[in-house]
Structure 1
Amino acid sequence: MATERQATVSGGNMQHGRHPGIALAVITSAQLMIVLDATIVNIALPQIQKALGFSSTDLSWVLNAYTLTFGGLLLLGGRAGDILGRRRVFIFGIVLFSVASLLGGLAQSAEWLLLARALQGVGGAIASPTALSLVTTNFEEGPERNRAFGVFAAVSGAGAAIGLIAGGMLTSWLSWRWTLFVNVPIGIVLVLLTPRYIKESERHPGRFDIAGAVASTAGMSLLVYGFIRAADKGWSDTGTLLSFAGAVVLLAAFVLIERRSQQPITPLHLFRDRDRVGTYLMMLIMAAAMFGMFFFLTLFVQNVLGYSPLRAGFAFVPVTVAIGVTAQLASRIIPRTGPKILLVIGGILAASGLIWLAQISESSKYVTGLLLPMCIFGLGMGFIFVPVTIVALARVANKDSGAASGMLNAMQMVGGSLGLSVLVTVFGTASRNEAAVQVKRFLASATPDQLAVFQQTKQLPPPFSSHVLAHGISSAFVLAAILAVGALIVAAVVIRRNVPIEEPGTTPPPMA
């Protein structure tokens, strides 16, 4: 008994299978807290604008400051876990994220809040990839790990929707500041529980690839910024073009650095496996579609259907349920079906849901126009997240699992940022063109009083404004559907039919 007790508490380690429920709860709670922070402030943006004096253009940086630092530093966070120990790095990331959340909740100016959001992104980039790799450290290969991946994937996939729900509740019941304060008590609990229930990984001594980290972080950040700026300033803007040019140069330099580095931040041999490359592409594409769906439907239910922030948040509950149901189902049947068939089914469902949403108009009703296609999309995403996660980490040496999981997380966050920026550009262009048409129609039928209000505000009244918004959203969903079809093609063509899920540490097979 003494020996067993010593093995349990010594160094805070635990044996595989001991308190697996608590270990998984800690890991997934951290991931949920990090992922939902990409959307939890969405519904609170009008209140934040009034409180801190943001302009309409600058307000978007409340979201972008988080996603830029998160997506740009994920690779470094994954590598840090491999070198320093995943549990140790995980705890540091949670502490940093919690402190940044506290500072953000206390913000008294726009600049203060943006710095806090950027620091949140740094903490998330450190904690998130180590959270995923801790699943491989704490759960045995096989059904146990597959079930854990199922829960983790469901949480990751549903995080955006849960963030909208939580944002609506906290904003309506308390204030916008609590969308940030809520992370502090959660972070404290996680930091206290992690040393007791999470097993530390083996450390792999080495040095940080600083040059690679700087090049990849700066390159991805410039790429994200270029798309964000294009949505606001246009594709011919000098700043936009310079951002893209800088991104190309830095990312090309990153590849050259990694090829020559003895200890690269991203081992390029991870890309020799066509299945892993395919899952990275699928995550990049589907994250873009998912982030876009939540963003645009949040606008629609509040500005067209007239929902309150609280009701708008709860409007997305069915999507969360749909993702969770099929993620758990996928984790149970994947040993029999293999990942390919699940990815194809998920791609078909997700694309079908987006094609349906592309039919949205100002007369659309919640149940028939939004709920049903959202649920179809959610069912598809649940089938996609589990096999994507498993295949991305299969046949990866234990020393590289942090880098592999960091890349998967980077694909989700950067894909969401880039995709949303492109979709917003399509939305803005379509909306401006349709607004010109609707202005002519309004002027032809407006009363003198309506004309006076329009000349003062320069804003179309309903139903003209609702039509313009719905037309822009519909156009964005057309592109999102095209992206989903592209992901389906990747699943059908790139992913092999039977992918053996091997024990980490085996040598990756050559490309077929």
Structure 2
Amino acid sequence: MDVPMEEKRQENELQPVKTNQSLADSFSLPREIAFITIVCMSQFITQANVGICLSPLDIVGADFGLTQPGELAWFLAGYSLTIGTFILVFGRCGDLFGYRRMFVIGFLWLALWSLVAGLSVYSNHILFIFARVLQGLGPAMLLPNGLAILRATYPPGKKKGMIFALFGATAPNGAIIGAVFAALFSQLAWWPWTYWSMAIVSVVCAAIAYLVIAPIRHTRPADPIFTSLDIPGAFTGITGLVLVNIAWNQAPTVSWSEPYVIVLLIVGALFLAAFFVIEFRFAKHPLIPFHAFSADVSFVLACVATGWGCFGTWIFYSWRFLHDSRGLTPLLASAQFIPPGISGLIAAFATGYLMSHVRPAWIMCMSLSAFTLGTILIAIAPVNQTYWALTFVSLIVIPWGMDMSFPAATLMLSNAVKREHQGLAASLVTTVVNYSISLSLGFAGTIESQITHGETAAERLRGYRSALYFAIGLGALGLGISALYTARSYTWAVASRKE
């Protein structure tokens, strides 16, 4: 009996490639430009969905009758939550089903829920937040599989390093351009068009990705999909992370006195405990192979979590400060956020150069210094001070934290794990980045709700500053951890030479 054509195609795609050439060698120059652009769009569009939320935050909130920062924080926290929670699962799906397939599905999924987010204007804020949460599944598919496509397409070398630097550089520019377009739509037209435009762009990107990205061939998994995907571990881990995050982000809105918040936190902790038991004792193909990790991995992930937790709080409350305390329109506030795009590009390529000349641990120290200093500057900025003083400097400094930490952490994790776990390194870093952003907003919101008493502008400013002081503490903690890790790396190097 003849095998159906689709099945034959899938079998061919899953067979290992036997060639000494990289996939990039077969690209023409126009195709290579299109290839790099569309893969970098995965990072760009992920961060653009942050910008389109922050810029018209008050306008969208007013349409839904929401004014409290704890309620508005869900617009960003829900999106980051699903990205951080599902990246590892969808990275594993890419390993099993094909990176290009998951990459294209990611764009289409994002398009669908961007459309729903815009249509929620005819419903209520519950549907909007629900759509934002499900939007995050799209980038959760795009980021790990985009990175895997780059790793599989280019051989090690300077060119690959610079392309990864370019991938990182699109982050601040994506957020800025997203914010500018959202401000234009919300002030000159209607804010739902921001999300409908995102849906159109995502569909176009899916079509281009299907045309220019070559299928990456894989070996068929020997075990059933249920085992290969580690479904029990994925279920318990995702459920635990989601419940804990919901508890922390909902508490500032309804207060910790609500019984269901405590219940969610406890049940989430129990699911996380079950996840660790499954991963350590029962999973044949654990989602996170803890046995393969050294103490270095813990140091790196702690630096990433504290640094990006600091950043998540900084970006949300910086916008609150500009919008509410300084009374800027979304368009003017977006214009003030343009410098990070230029600074981020410089930081990304500078990091690409430094990676081959300086220990990654030092780059991580510099990154945490930038996160901490940038947050200090915005936290102490007077309301009536000129933009060109502390605010401008903060916006110039922060991108160095973003664009130095991600490549440094990825390289450090790559050096800390075995060859067979290299694909996990970038996915794990991206997971921690996004989940820490979402969780830190819950912590900051709780602090703000306890500090603020009343609805006056002075009280709201006091709450914003208290949240930013918490972010400074996170950044300082990360800086201390990175300094300790740097010292440890030198001690280890000296000991290795003596042996």
Q: TM class by shorter-chain length? A: 0.7 to 0.9
Q: Map 1:393-432 to 2 at 5 A.
A: 393-394=414-415, 400-432=421-453
Q: Does residue 472 of structure 1 match 2:485?
A: no
Deviations along 1:239-260, whole A, 9 cap, x unmatched? 2222221222111111111122
Alignment correspondent of 2:123: 109
CA offset at residue 278 of structure 1? Answer: 2.6
Contact 2:47/2:171, CA 8 A, preserved across alignment: yes
Alignment correspondent of 1:15: 23
Q: Secondary structure at the match of 1:367?
A: coil
Alignment correspondent of 2:300: 279
Question: Equivalents in 1 of 2:470, 2:440: separation in Å?
Answer: 10
Alignment correspondent of 1:150: 165
Q: Does residue 178 of structure 1 match 2:193?
A: yes
CA offset at residue 124 of structure 1? Answer: 2.2
Q: Which amino acid aligns with 2:387?
A: Y
User: Which moved further from structure 2: 208-217 or 19-28?
Assistant: 19-28
Contact 2:410/2:425, CA 8 A, preserved across alignment: no
Deviations along 1:344-395, whole A, 9 cap, x unmatched? 1222232222223332333333221311123223233332232123323446
Among 197, 207, 212, which residue is 2:233 paired with? Answer: 212
Q: Does residue 226 of structure 1 match 2:247?
A: yes
Contact 1:71/1:220, CA 8 A, preserved across alignment: no
CA offset at residue 191 of structure 1? Answer: 1.8
Question: Equivalents in 1 of 2:377, 2:131: separation in Å?
Answer: 38
Quickly say closer, same or farther: Cα 1:177–1:33, change in 2 above 3 A. Answer: same
Question: Equivalents in 2 of 1:401, 1:20: separation in Å?
Answer: 24
Q: Does residue 267 of structure 1 match 2:289?
A: yes
Question: Equivalents in 2 of 1:421, 1:188: separation in Å?
Answer: 33
Question: Equivalents in 1 of 2:491, 2:154: separation in Å?
Answer: 21
Among 485, 489, 495, which residue is 1:494 paired with? Answer: 485
CA offset at residue 396 of structure 1? Answer: 5.3
Q: Map 1:39-188 to 2 at 5 A.
A: 39-52=51-64, 56=68, 59-107=72-120, 108-110=122-124, 111-188=126-203
Quickly say closer, same or farther: Cα 1:100–1:368, change in 2 above 3 A. Answer: same
CA offset at residue 104 of structure 1? Answer: 2.1
Q: Map 1:278-427 to 2 at 5 A.
A: 278-394=299-415, 400-427=421-448
Quickly say closer, same or farther: Cα 1:371–1:413, change in 2 above 3 A. Answer: same
Question: Equivalents in 1 of 2:57, 2:366: separation in Å?
Answer: 36
Q: Which amino acid aligns with 2:467?
A: A
Question: Equivalents in 2 of 1:306, 1:175: separation in Å?
Answer: 20
**How many residue pairs are counted as aligned between the two chains?**
461
Q: Where does the alignment leave 5 or more consecutive residues of structure 1 unmatched?
A: 1-9, 436-458, 501-508
CA offset at residue 402 of structure 1? Answer: 4.5
Contact 2:310/2:371, CA 8 A, preserved across alignment: no
Deviations along 1:432-470, whole A, 9 cap, x unmatched? 2xx5xxxxxxxxxxxxxxxxxxxxxxx54xxxx2x3233
Question: Equivalents in 2 of 1:115, 1:302: separation in Å?
Answer: 25
CA offset at residue 339 of structure 1? Answer: 0.9
Among 199, 221, 239, which residue is 2:260 paired with? Answer: 239
CA offset at residue 310 of structure 1? Answer: 0.5
Q: Secondary structure at the match of 2:210?
A: helix
CA offset at residue 397 of structure 1? Answer: 6.0
User: Which moved further from structure 2: 256-265 or 183-192?
Assistant: 183-192
Question: Equivalents in 2 of 1:113, 1:318: separation in Å?
Answer: 30
Question: Equivalents in 2 of 1:188, 1:62: separation in Å?
Answer: 23
Question: Equivalents in 2 of 1:374, 1:384: separation in Å?
Answer: 17
Question: Equivalents in 1 of 2:296, 2:176: separation in Å?
Answer: 28
Q: Which amino acid aligns with 2:23?
A: Q
What's the TM-score, normalizing by structure 2? Answer: 0.84
Question: Equivalents in 1 of 2:112, 2:422: separation in Å?
Answer: 28
Q: Which amino acid aligns with 2:167?
A: F
CA offset at residue 64 of structure 1? Answer: 3.9
Contact 1:360/1:473, CA 8 A, preserved across alignment: no
Q: Does residue 191 of structure 1 match 2:206?
A: yes
Contact 2:113/2:131, CA 8 A, preserved across alignment: yes
Among 45, 50, 53, which residue is 1:38 paired with? Answer: 50
Q: Secondary structure at the match of 2:156?
A: coil
Contact 1:138/1:198, CA 8 A, preserved across alignment: no
CA offset at residue 277 of structure 1? Answer: 3.0
Contact 2:77/2:439, CA 8 A, preserved across alignment: no
Q: Secondary structure at the match of 1:335?
A: coil
Question: Equivalents in 1 of 2:177, 2:312: separation in Å?
Answer: 13
Alignment correspondent of 1:440: none
